Amino acid sequence: MTRSVVVKVGTSSVTDERGGVDYGVLVDIANDVVRLRDEGWSVVVVTSGAITAGWAEVGQGRARPHDAVTLQAVSAVGQPLLMHAWRNAFGELNTPVGQVLLAPLDFSHRGQYLHARGTLEALQSLGVVAIVNENDAVADEEIRFGDNDRLSALVANLVRASHLVLLTDTDGLLTADPRLDPQATLIEEVTAIDAELLGLAGYSRSSVGSGGMASKLAAARIATWSGITTVIASARAREALVRAVNQTPGFGTTFHPRTERLSARKAWIAFAVASRGSLSINEGALNALEHHGRSLLRVGVEHHDGLFVEGDAVEVKGPDGHVVAKGLVRVNADTFDDGDDVVVHRDDLVLLRKV
């Protein structure tokens, strides 16, 4: 894994109080990106803000809409405004940029996934900074369910980055909501994302972004399971990106990668592919999966849900109904009882008990 970083900048950081693009923030980040590239890093930028910037252009003071169709149209207005600003910011440093719009399909299908990786690698070889965003203008699923925190973690896995930096409107993960507790302090290092930590993530200071701290922790979980060091830090701090990747003491929250990291393919199965159904297994099958590294056999499946076909991803639920694994099935739902005895091969199975 080379020195490579994916930096995601949130909506509240790339736009100002009126919703327009905050050019000063983009310039500061561009300076950091170019400095890191000069030091031998490869850098991919994931940007939010298209919908907010688009509404600032056409909203004429009206309340921001919430329906998917209007948001898609507004995103189509905002995307070129956002890219024009990024192009100008990097242009001051004689550095070209390229826009890459990604949708769930680009991650769900292995061939498309590898093609997207090839495009990003080609841009890197050309000396071009890739500016990535969700393809909001044509995929309403992302507007309703997605956020660029998760996208950035998937991109970091896609390009096999060593670091993921989430720049936002807070100093990092705090011990409490600072609006309610003035004594809230910064958590500087995290070695494991547990239930107690997730309980701290129920706050978001932004009214324009689709993420919030909970989605940042979800992104950190994806990245750290993929062996990627993750930092949440303030976008408006001086030399924010440089300080984040250098893990400057007292700056941001650093999430250390797991010792047992997933391979790129298993990280893709675990986090990038949408599940098409579920399998509920018995105690014997659960023991075989978790303690003996076995494949999931048909005899261990109590019942199944969904319209999956061979090659689809499914969730595997234990006797208590909780998801314990995810994998690619080797059978079809409509011929399940007549299919292969091996329902999910161990090479296509990821244990998620501790995710």
Of all residues in the chain, the percent with pLDDT exceeding 70 is 93
End-to-end CA distance of the chain: 22
For the cut 60, the answer to whether the pLDDT of residue 206 exceeds it is no
Categorize the per-residue pLDDT at 179 as very low, low, confident or very high, splitting at 50, 70 and 90.
confident
Average pLDDT over every residue of 28-50:
97
Domains 4-264 and 274-351 equal at CATH topology level: no
Please tell me the predicted confidence (pLDDT) of residue 50: 92
Please tell me the predicted confidence (pLDDT) of residue 1: 53
> How high is the mean pLDDT of the chain?
90
pLDDT in tens, 119-155: 999 999 999 999 999 886 665 554 443 578 999 999 9
For the cut 80, the answer to whether the pLDDT of residue 355 exceeds it is no
Average pLDDT over every residue of 326-333:
96
Please tell me the predicted confidence (pLDDT) of residue 209: 44
Q: Model-level pTM?
A: 0.89
Which CATH architecture does the domain made up of 274-351 adopt?
Roll (2.30)
Please tell me the predicted confidence (pLDDT) of residue 86: 98
Contact 244, 178 (CB under 8 A): no
Q: What is the DSSP string of 184-205?
A: --B--EES---HHHHGGG----
pLDDT in tens, 295-321: 999 999 999 999 999 999 999 999 999
User: Alpha-carbon distance 29 to 23, whole Å?
Assistant: 10
Buried b (16+ CB within 10 A) or exposed e, 46-56: bbbbbbbbbbb
- What residues does each domain of the chain span? 4-264, 274-351
CATH classification for the domain delimited by 4-264, as one of 3.40.1160.10, 3.60.21.10, 3.40.50.10580, 3.40.1030.10? 3.40.1160.10
Which of 10-24, 184-198, 206-220, 312-326 is the least confident region?
A: 206-220
